[in-house]
Amino acid sequence: MKDHKLNPDSPEHFHGERQRLNELVLQFAGKNIKRFFALDSQAYHDGALPARTKEIIGLVASLVLRCDDCVKYHLNQCHQAKVTDAELEEALNIGLIVGGSIVIPHLRRAVAFWQELRQSAS
């Protein structure tokens, strides 16, 4: 059920909508889509690199690719993994350096979402 009172840019709205849409996709999905979803999930588990580091890498890649949904997802994962503001700033800087000025609008939205995550946690 959709709560129309939630700010569409809020972490709560993003998480609820992402979950709803993932469930819809998986109801529709065949074997290959389900395999990709599983592979994507497995890639972020601890291995030679800790899951926390992988989420930071995922965030940088998402920023460079300019996928706001992916950026929000990885920001949430970074927040849960206790990434600090200083670590986040360095990661976002790498994304900006690699992606160039075209990344700036996505960087703005990333910082705003990070602030929302921090506020909702307090």
User: What is the CATH superfamily name and number for domain 11-121?
Assistant: AhpD-like (1.20.1290.10)
In angstroms, rounded to a whole number, what is the distance separating the alpha carbons of residues 10 and 31?
A: 33
Determine whether 8 is exposed, middle or buried from the number of CB atoms within 10 Å of its CB (0-12, 13-18, 19+): exposed
Domain boundaries, the chain: 11-121
The model's pTM: 0.88
Local confidence pLDDT in tens for the 122 residues of the chain = 444 467 877 899 998 999 999 999 999 999 999 999 999 989 999 999 999 999 999 999 999 999 999 999 999 999 999 999 999 999 999 999 999 999 999 999 999 999 999 998 88
